[in-house]
Amino acid sequence: MLVEALVLSAILFVIGTAGVLIRRNAIIMFLCIELMLNAVNLSFVALSRYLGIEGQLYVFFVMTVAAAEAAVGLAIIIAIFRHYETVNVDNFNLLKW
Amino acid sequence: MTGLFDGLVFESWILHALIWLPLAGIPVVLLAGEERAKEVAFGWTLGLFVVSLGLWWAFDPAGPLFQLQSSVPWVEMWGVNYALGIDGISLFMILLTTFTMPIAILGSFRYIRERQRGFYALMLLLQTGIVGVFASMDLFLFYVFFELTLVPMYFIVGVWGGERRIYAAVKFFLYTALGSLLMLVGILYLYWQANLANGFASFHVLDLLGTPLSLTEQLWLFGAFALAFAIKVPIFPLHTWLPDAHVEAPTPGSVVLAAVLLKMGTYGFLRFVLPFFPEASAHPTVVMVMLTLGVIGIIYAALVAAVQPDAKKLVAYTSVAHMGFVVLGIFALNVNGLQGGLVVMISHGISTGALFLILGMLYERRHTRRIEDFGGLARVAPLLATALVLTAMASIGVPGTSGFVGEFLALVGTFEKYPVMAFLAALGVIFAAFYMLPMVQRVLFNKLDRKENRTMPDLSGREIAVLSPLLLLMVVLGVYPAPVLERLEPGVRAIVEWVEEGQTGALRSAREAHALEAELATEELDGPGRALLHRFEGVEPPLPQPTRTEEGELGRSALVAFPQTPAAPTEIFTVTSGDQD
Amino acid sequence: MTEPARTTTEALAATAQAGSGFDPVLPGIILLLPLLGFLLNGILALVAGSRSATALRLAALAEPDSEEERVDHQHEVGAPKRATHTLPTWIGPGVMLLAFVLTAANFLRMLGADLHDAVVISYWSWMPTGALSVDAAIQLDQLSMIMMMVITGVGFLIHVFSVGYMKDDPGYPRYFAYLNLFVFFMLVLVTGANFPVMFVGWEGVGLCSYLLIGFWFQDREKADAGKKAFIVNRIGDVGLLMAMFILFSTFGTLNYGEIFAAAPTTLVYGGGVVTAITLFLLLGAAGKSAQIPLYVWLPDAMAGPTPVSALIHAATMVTAGVYLVARASVLFALAPVGAAAVATIGALTALFAATIALKQYDIKKVLAYSTVSQLGFMFMGVGVGAYAAGVFHLMTHAFFKALLFLGAGAVIHSMHHALHATHKDWDAQDMRNMGGLRRPMKWTWIFMWIATLAIAGIWPFAGFFSKDEIIWYVGTSAPFGPLYAVLWGMAVVTALLTAFYMTRMMILTFHGPNRTGEAERKHLHEAPLTMTIPLGVLAILSIFGGWINVPESVRNSFFGGFGLLPMSEWLHDWLLPVTAAADAIRLEQMGAYAYQSPIGGGHVTWGFIATGLALAVVILASRLFLSRDVKTALEEGEPTSGIGKLLYNKWYVDEFYDRIIVQPVIGISRFSWRVVDRVLIDGTVNAVGAVSRGAGWFGSLFQTGQLNTYAFILALGALALLGVLIL
């Protein structure tokens, strides 16, 4: 059971990573990040069965942070969209030195 | 909380006042308004100078080494104390500071035109830092004040400076910060070792004294401390920040920089480096290196000064040369040498401060510092000329002025052990004339051939008031330096005995007295402490006994106070402290 | 500074200890008087200076475009005298007169007392630290008393002379302030009871010399000359400092009394330590007394006002080196090599400077090189152990050389006025422009001939006794017999050269036809009384001054009027308490003095030969230059070839020093600044900064602003970490 769960987690994580790297739409990239977080959550839960309850504890932390992050992140994306009328990250290079 | 006020010994109120009143003056200056800020700042610092004169009487030349001591725990967990105290050396450094400040401020009345409130507030902050440095008896406190002086100076150079002020300010800051960060590492290591040896945490200078260190450790720590202080002094080849900072700094900045800030470096050597690392300091190689750098500084800086087209830069380089004499005197490691070094420090503060003030006055009149833009000024400004000639003579150490006493003693001290070094340094006497006289000639003498100079006004009443105390002091200290010398001597002798005679003398007694006092205090408070521990053990608390093995290393086992006291007392320690809570 | 009450009580205490019966009268006041004069005149000088500065500014404001400085050359001739001008006339010479009277009183008391040990009066503790304890103390003994008499006596005369000479100068009060300060420091120099106090005077007189040489500082050359004097002097001062350091580390004290008392037992005769001490002392003495290799500043020092040349650069300051050797006679007696070095340097300098003097046209330059040469004589004297003879020549030289300089000053004064009256831009100091001045300046002419005969060594003038005594001793001294024979030869040649160039100077200046010019001639005049009276006094001293130290055999011969002279070897006996220790050492180490002149014969025989030779040279030189048709400076120009050119250009020593020392030092300085400081050190510092910046720039390349790039790098990093973990 553990192996399957970890494999699924890895697949989800790779999909998430690939999405972040490949896609240019900020919303999609954001969703991919969530996907990566949940992949990690999955492995935490799976492993907690063998290594102790702390794994599930961390999952709650991650979820909480993810929720907060989603709120802030989406707000930023909306603000950017209002300004640029696009969510293509290629256009966002304000932080370039 | 009772401890807080018990620690503030009444007699040392002058020290507390001298440190904190400048800070208290900042809001006053800020509230005074742009127009009145300078007068308020001047009045405030002048008042502080009057207060500081009280130190002269409060300090008993025949008394114990460190006087006006007071100590309040600051960060108890780490053993950081707000501990103050002075010996003769700090006494004169503090007096020099409080004396220079009002003069520098009075001398800046015409120079500083913009953001006056900010400027004078920073000057007051600077004074807090400097006096703090000289009055601290706690290494942590010292470090805080030492770094605190950087900030106002950085802004003074960076905001009110000349054209390349940013470069100069950043260079000044980075140079000094680099050194002091390394020193911080050294401080922490020393603290940790002392902690191990003493069995309790303390940054108090007297607790850190005699910390058992192997020679290798001493040499490394010496390096860390010496680098920080050598940059501050500055010792060749770490001096290049100084000319830039001086040239760009406004007049009062230069005055304070030359008169007092540089002395923090040499003071650091005397107060910390030599006492903490006596074996490294007396190590022949170290001594030779330091003396060589001192001598190079004297001759090299004099040569470089001689070809400067910029008068202020010239004077800046002469500072390097003068401080070379101080380094020479310090590492001669005998009473005459150290006394000479200290007198050079004081005398350099007065004469170089005066030189910068005079150059500032010339700059205010002509807006140039280039020597070639002047000439023949003695005819339009005889008072200024008289002041400059006298100051120049004091600066190059003509007998009868303070400069001579210092250089002479420093060289006498050096000669006793290192005749060749003394001879080379004595050549600096020639080079001093070689850089100073042409400058004096090209500014004051020769033809009055520039139209702009022909209408130059002579010294105003305010400028006379700025310069005359300095000029007077140059002559008085040159003719009758005995009161200064006799107050400096106990401190100097203590250092020499500590370093040269196997950590004996007044510093040792001061350390013992301090340890005893601390024990009595803990006993009275009925708190946890060594006395209690030792009563439990039934033995008197042993002081660190520095013993020399054949290799010249400190015998560590003999030094550690606690090797005989195993785990049991430690538990008692925790238990009793638990009760307290 | 000092309280007389304390002074006298302490003096009494000191006297009680010495048990000599000598009770000094207000010795501190003697020193304080010139200092007081300096302070008063200094205040007046600042007032006067400020006033003329204001005038200068107003003139510049009125005519901002004028190129000419209006007030610059404006002599205040005939202008109403202000207080700043009249007061110094009284203060300056006044304090000197009082000081001289006090000194004379002390001198008379000392004469009456049988003083063996010096009376030391300590005022306050100057540098008490560690093992070193230096008091601000003065010491009165026979040597310092003679020096004080010369300083205050000749000094007073020169102050009086200055009143006339400088009266039209705008810097009049400043001049007297400097002059008074000089006298103060000079007195400190000769009365100091230990080396550091002496050094205060030593450098103090150097400072005053610097200020006075550059007195007319708007003239660049004069300011340069002052600077040169100071720097060259400082080279010597380093020698003195080093000598003090060695003395302190050897004796643990710097007080004369203790050092000289302990020296014979502490130091090994001819040992390395004492030799080093004496050689360093010699370096110091050579700097101050203008001996080879440090003599170059003295001829340039003639840029100062002429009375200054007379007082500082002839009579007093430059003899400080001789005083130093005489003072440290015990040390030099213990170091035969050091003493021989003194004598050799002296002889070389004497001859070398005399050759240069042969071909100088500037009247002051002739006298300057003559002074260097005569100082060489004094060095020879003290170098061979004839301390009394050296001091004797110091004293007589002070008389006749001061007279010569003041006479030259009177001549220049007159020439200057004459040339100024017609606005002729000739050199007022070039002897080729003079000639025939004996008619308008009869008294000056007579007085200067007296001095010339004195310096030439012609009986019965002062120089005959003092110079011949030195030559005598040089010829008779052990222990370097052959060396001293050579020195003796040099001394004799120098003496003859002296007679020659001095006669040349007199003939060119005072005799023959006048070359100044028709219009100018009628403006040539005798100097005012304030100037001629001091000349007269000095002339009297130049005649009789030599009679105080005549050897017994000479006294009983023709030269002493067959015993008519009231005293014999008075100075020698007077100085015995100071020199006895040194004499004893020399006697012990070398045996009795040989007293054999290299050419044989005794004092008297040699006296006839010497004065005869000198007289012959004077007559020969007179005939030679009288018969010669002298051209003016403009007509003749500079010598262009041969030995004349070499001598005129002073053997090119200045150029040599410039090439060998000055330029390289400046070169090294430039190199140190531009290369070491800026490129190496600052370069390193800036390089550290640049490297940090470069690293930052490199890092900034990765900051594209593209989210994907960041994410990609993040992923790569994570993979790399993973790889590390797995591996």
Of B427-431, B530-534, C588-592, least confident by mean pLDDT is B530-534
Provide the pLDDT for residue B546.
Answer: 47
In a domain, A8, yes or no: yes
- Give the residues across from B67 on adjacent strands: B86
**Distance separating alpha carbons of residues B398 and C202, to the nearest angstrom:** 10
CB C411 within 8 Å of CB C509: yes
CB B474 within 8 Å of CB B390: yes
- Give the residues across from B138 on adjacent strands: B204
Task: Please name the residue ranges forming H helices in B367-418.
Answer: 377-380, 382-395, 402-417
Residue B523's pLDDT band, with cuts at 50, 70 and 90, is low
C residues 447-466 near A, CB within 8 Å?
A: none
Distance from CA of C685 to the nearest CA of A (A): 26
In sequence order, the 6+-apart residues with CB closer than 8 A to the CB of C144 are C118, C190, C191
Provide the pLDDT for residue C371.
Answer: 93
Contact A21 C705 (CB under 8 A): no
Provide the pLDDT for residue B548.
Answer: 44
Residues of A in contact with C715 (CB under 8 A): 17, 20-21
In a domain, A92, yes or no: no
Residue B190's pLDDT band, with cuts at 50, 70 and 90, is very high
Torsion, Cα C451 C452 C454 C457, to 10 degrees, reads: 170
Of B260-269, C92-101, C345-354, C549-558, least confident by mean pLDDT is C549-558
Residue C591's pLDDT band, with cuts at 50, 70 and 90, is low
In a domain, A54, yes or no: yes
Strands C132-140 and B67-75, bridge-based pairing = unpaired
Provide the pLDDT for residue B537.
Answer: 45
Contact A93 C700 (CB under 8 A): no
pLDDT, average across residues C15-25? 62
Contact C707 A17 (CB under 8 A): no
Contact A92 C705 (CB under 8 A): yes
Q: Is the pLDDT of residue C709 over 60?
A: yes
Name the E strands within C101-232: 119-129, 132-140
Return the residue in B408, B409, B487 with the most chain C beta carbons within 10 A, the one to mutate for interface testing: B408
Provide the pLDDT for residue A39.
Answer: 94
CB B458 within 8 Å of CB B380: yes
Question: Quick one: which of B502, B504, B556, B558 has its CA closest to B217?
Answer: B556
In a domain, A10, yes or no: yes
Residue of A nearest to C718 (CA): A17
**Distance separating alpha carbons of residues B564 and B319, to the nearest angstrom:** 52
Task: Say if residue C64 is preceded by a cis peptide, omega within 30 of 0.
Answer: no
In sequence order, the 6+-apart residues with CB closer than 8 A to the CB of B544 are B197, B198, B210, B211, B212, B559, B560, B561
**Distance separating alpha carbons of residues B193 and B182, to the nearest angstrom:** 17
In sequence order, the 6+-apart residues with CB closer than 8 A to the CB of C89 are C163, C167
Give the distance from CA A96 to its chain's centroid.
24
CATH of residue A63's domain is 1.10.287.3510
Return the residue in C2, C61, C129 with the most chain B beta carbons within 10 A, the one to mutate for interface testing: C129
Question: Quick one: which of C230, C188, C240, C207 has its CA closest to C30?
Answer: C188
Phi, psi of B474 (to 5 degrees): -55, -45
Q: What tens digit of pLDDT does each residue of B231-243 get? A: 998 898 888 899 9
Q: What tens digit of pLDDT does each residue of C136-189 get? A: 999 998 999 999 999 999 999 999 999 988 888 888 899 999 999 999 999 999
Q: What tens digit of pLDDT does each residue of B204-231 get? A: 888 888 888 889 999 999 999 999 999 9
Q: Which two tokens stand for residue B386?
A: 């008289």
What total of structural domains would you count in chain A? 1
Provide the pLDDT for residue B579.
Answer: 40
Which of A17, A89, A97 has the CB atom closest to C715's CB atom?
A17
Burial class (CB in 10 A: 0-12, 13-18, 19+), C708: middle
Contact B240 C677 (CB under 8 A): yes
Q: What tens digit of pLDDT does each residue of C23-50 get? A: 888 888 999 999 999 999 999 999 988 8
Return the residue in B325, B344, B379 with the most chain C beta carbons within 10 A, the one to mutate for interface testing: B379
- Give the residues across from B86 on adjacent strands: B67
Neighbours of chain B (3+ CB pairs under 8 A): C
Q: Among residues of chain B, what percentage have pLDDT more than 70?
A: 88
Distance from CA of B347 to the nearest CA of C (A): 15
In sequence order, the 6+-apart residues with CB closer than 8 A to the CB of C522 are none
Which of C128, C136, C207 has the CB atom closest to B486's CB atom?
C128
Distance from CA of B447 to the nearest CA of C (A): 5
Question: Quick one: which of B464, B465, B448 has its CA closest to B456?
Answer: B448
Contact B429 C237 (CB under 8 A): yes
Provide the pLDDT for residue B507.
Answer: 84
Contact C685 B171 (CB under 8 A): yes
CB B176 within 8 Å of CB B231: yes
For chain A, say whether C726 makes contact (Cβ under 8 Å).
no
Q: Is the pLDDT of residue C707 over 90?
A: no
Distance from CA of A57 to the nearest CA of C (A): 24
For chain C, say whether A50 makes contact (Cβ under 8 Å).
no
- The dihedral built from the CA positions of residue C622, C628, C633 and C639, taken in this order, carries a sign that is negative
Which of C50, C64, C129 has the CB atom closest to B339's CB atom?
C129
CB B266 within 8 Å of CB B323: yes
Phi, psi of B85 (to 5 degrees): 170, 155
Residue of C nearest to A21 (CA): C708
In a domain, A28, yes or no: yes
In a domain, A26, yes or no: yes
**Distance separating alpha carbons of residues C41 and C49, to the nearest angstrom:** 12
- The b-or-e profile of C627-643 (16+ CB within 10 A means b, else e) is eeebebbeeeeeeeeee
Provide the pLDDT for residue C484.
Answer: 80
Q: What tens digit of pLDDT does each residue of A45-81 get? A: 999 988 888 889 999 999 999 999 999 999 998 998 8
Provide the phi-psi class of B115: left if phi over 0, else alpha when psi is between -120 and 50, else beta. Answer: left
Q: Which two tokens stand for residue C473?
A: 């001793």
Which of C65, C211, C245 has the CB atom closest to B415's CB atom?
C245
Provide the pLDDT for residue C203.
Answer: 92
Provide the pLDDT for residue B503.
Answer: 79
Side chain identity, residue C432: R
Q: What tens digit of pLDDT does each residue of C667-701 get? A: 998 888 888 888 888 888 888 888 988 998 888 88
C residues 5-64 near B, CB within 8 Å?
A: 45-46, 49-50, 52-53, 56-57, 60-61, 64
pLDDT, average across residues C493-522? 88
Side chain identity, residue C210: Y
- The dihedral built from the CA positions of residue B85, B91, B97 and B98, taken in this order, carries a sign that is positive
C residues 135-164 near A, CB within 8 Å?
A: none
> Domain of A73?
2-84
**Distance separating alpha carbons of residues C44 and C40, to the nearest angstrom:** 6
Question: Quick one: which of C323, C332, C336 has its CA closest to C278?
Answer: C332
Residues of A in contact with C707 (CB under 8 A): 26, 29, 89, 92
Neighbours of chain A (3+ CB pairs under 8 A): C
Q: Among residues of chain C, what percentage have pLDDT more than 70?
A: 92
Side chain identity, residue B156: I
Phi, psi of B382 (to 5 degrees): -65, -35
Question: Quick one: which of B406, B411, B424 has its CA closest to B297?
Answer: B424
C residues 336-365 near B, CB within 8 Å?
A: none
- Give the SS3 label for residue B181: helix
Which of B378, B399, B455 has the CB atom closest to C204's CB atom?
B399
Distance from CA of B348 to the nearest CA of C (A): 18
Which of C705, C708, C712 has the CB atom closest to A96's CB atom?
C705
User: Which one-letter DSSP state was computed for residue C628?
Assistant: S
- Give the SS3 label for residue B138: strand
Q: Is the pLDDT of residue C708 over 80?
A: no
Which of A17, A93, A97 has the CB atom closest to C706's CB atom?
A93
Burial class (CB in 10 A: 0-12, 13-18, 19+), C268: exposed
CB C192 within 8 Å of CB C173: no
Contact B482 C685 (CB under 8 A): no
Q: Which two tokens stand for residue B529?
A: 């402490």
**Distance separating alpha carbons of residues C144 and C187, to the nearest angstrom:** 9
Q: What tens digit of pLDDT does each residue of B153-177 get? A: 999 998 888 888 888 998 888 888 8
Residue C131's pLDDT band, with cuts at 50, 70 and 90, is confident
Largest Cα separation within chain A, whole Å, is 49
Number of cross-chain residue pairs from A and C with Cβ atoms under 8 Å apart: 30
Q: Is the pLDDT of residue C481 over 80?
A: no
Contact A96 C704 (CB under 8 A): yes
B residues 424-463 near C, CB within 8 Å?
A: 426-427, 429-430, 432-434, 437-438, 441, 444-448, 451, 454-458
Question: Quick one: which of C379, C290, C297, C389 has its CA closest to C338?
Answer: C379
State chain C's mean pLDDT as an integer: 85
**Distance separating alpha carbons of residues B134 and B143, to the nearest angstrom:** 11
Q: What tens digit of pLDDT does each residue of C205-246 get? A: 999 999 999 998 888 889 999 999 999 999 999 999 999 999
Tokens 């580390």 belong to which residue?
Answer: C249
CB C413 within 8 Å of CB C165: yes
